[in-house]
């Protein structure tokens, strides 16, 4: 539940910075009153404070250590012996990773130092962009891959879930699921969300790629019998990724492969709602002694489930 917002906007002058400080104090006062009342009556509700990371933000250098508002929020949680969540919004307009993604991880590091025993988590309620095309799908996949490898964020969501066709294309044109009076259809970023959620496994496995255009995250099931690879190819050409897998023996000689590949500007329309969608194949992987290779189309997101 959202109980208060503590936003940070662009700092273009000392006057604007002073206005932000006043805004922060007011937001803190409101949050303090609401949180105290909620903590007293509703044990199941977690208070969260909303932060916005911009490209010219002091959080890029971990300056949240000097932010009294955040210290107050953490101390309030400690005082009531409750957990507080900090919501960060990350920009995913197109590959490569935006600077706000790195800012988020440095923010978490700084917040941990500031906490002084206060229970807290950082999460992402909004991956944001101004488009809903394949390039945004790949940027979302890159961000989610990085967040999963980091392992500290309990929740990541992408804005916006719904977008009426033709009604929100003048800004925040980022719907995952489009609709009009007669139909609904997914956009490429929506398919990325579905591909990841339908193949989620709880344990992250160390994975890395030496190819700068290829980003890889690996997960396995609790019993170790299932391995899932999420691979993003941001390059404009197809690529072959050598796989060197240790500590896992597949139960079958085939793996399920879901691939979402398209030009960066590609998107779905009411007239062609399935222009861009994942393909599903059974791949004879030939994984012998832990080694094989997989072909990846240009500008693609691929999920392999062994």
106-136 tens-digit pLDDT = 889 888 888 989 999 999 999 999 999 999 9
Residues 91, 30 share a domain: yes
* CATH value at residue 298: 2.60.40.1180
274/127 same-domain check: no
Give me the domain span that covers residue 37: 2-198
Note the pLDDT tens digit of each residue in 30-51: 767 777 777 677 777 777 776 6
Of 142, 165, 198, the domain-final residue: 198
Predicted local distance difference test score (pLDDT) of residue 25: 61
What's residue 66's pLDDT?
A: 57
Residues 153 and 188 in one domain: yes
pLDDT at 5: 31
Structure tokens at 30: 């409101």
Query: DSSP for the chain?
Result: -EEEE-------SHHHHHHHHHHHHHHHHHHHHHHHHHHHH-TT--EEEEEE--TT-GGGGTGGGG-HHHHHHHHHHHHTT--EEEEEEEE-SSSS--HHHHHHHHHHHHHHHH-TT--EEEEEEEEE-S--SHHHHHHHHHHHHHHHHH---S-EEES-SEEETTTSTTS----SEEEETTEEEE-HHHHHHHHHHHT--SEEE----SSTTEEEEEEE-TTS--EEEEEEE-SSS-EEEEEE--S---SSSEEEEEEEE--TT----SSSTTSS--EEEEEE---BTTEEEEEE-TTEEEEEE-
The tally of domains found in the chain comes to 2
Low-confidence ranges of the chain (pLDDT < 70): 1-29, 31, 39, 50-68
Residues 53 and 193 occupy one common structural domain: yes
| One domain for residues 133 and 254 | no
Pick from 141, 175, 198: which residue ends a domain?
A: 198
What's the confidence (pLDDT) of residue 76? 84
41 and 189 share one domain: yes
User: Based on the domain organization, do 116 and 178 belong to the same domain?
Assistant: yes
> Is the domain of 177 the same as that of 256?
no
Based on the fold, state whether residues 193 and 207 are members of the same structural domain: no
Q: Residue 28 has what pLDDT? A: 62
- Same domain, yes or no: 148 and 218: no
Q: Are residues 240 and 279 in the same domain?
A: yes
Looking at the fold, whether 188 and 207 belong to one and the same domain comes out as no
Encoding tokens for residue 108?
């978490």
pTM of the model: 0.85
**Res 113: pLDDT:** 87
Which of 167, 183, 198 is where one domain is finished?
198
Q: Side by side, which strands form the sheet with 300-305?
A: 203-205, 214-220, 227-233, 300-305, 254-261, 279-284
């Amino acid at each position: 539940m959202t109980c208060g917002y503590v936003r940070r906007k662009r700092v273009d002058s000392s006057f604007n910075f002073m206005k932000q400080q006043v805004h922060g104090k007011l937001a803190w006062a409101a949050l303090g009153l609401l949180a105290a009342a909620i903590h007293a009556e509703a044990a199941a509700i977690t208070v969260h404070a909303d932060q916005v990371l911009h490209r010219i933000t002091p959080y890029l250098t971990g300056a949240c250590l000097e932010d009294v508002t955040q210290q107050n929020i953490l101390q309030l949680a400690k005082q009531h012996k409750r957990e507080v969540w900090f919501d960060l919004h990350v920009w995913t307009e197109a590959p490569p990773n935006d600077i706000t993604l790195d800012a988020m991880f440095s923010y978490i590091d700084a917040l941990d130092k500031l906490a002084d025993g206060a229970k807290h988590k950082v999460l992402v309620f909004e991956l944001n962009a101004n488009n809903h095309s394949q390039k945004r799908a790949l940027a979302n996949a890159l961000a989610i891959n990085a967040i999963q490898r980091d392992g500290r964020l309990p929740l990541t969501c992408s804005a916006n879930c719904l977008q009426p066709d033709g009604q929100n294309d003048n800004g925040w044109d980022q719907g995952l699921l489009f609709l009009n009076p007669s139909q609904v259809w997914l956009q490429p970023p929506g398919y990325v969300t579905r591909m990841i959620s339908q193949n989620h496994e709880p344990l992250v496995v160390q994975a890395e790629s030496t190819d700068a255009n290829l980003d890889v995250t690996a997960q396995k099931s609790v019993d170790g019998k299932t391995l899932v690879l999420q691979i993003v190819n941001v390059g404009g050409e197809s690529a072959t990724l050598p796989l060197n897998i240790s500590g896992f023996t597949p139960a079958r000689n085939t793996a399920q492969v879901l691939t979402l590949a398209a030009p960066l500007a590609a998107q779905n329309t009411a007239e062609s709602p399935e222009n861009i969608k994942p393909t599903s194949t059974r791949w004879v992987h030939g994984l012998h002694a832990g080694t094989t290779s997989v072909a990846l189309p240009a500008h693609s997101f691929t999920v392999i489930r062994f």
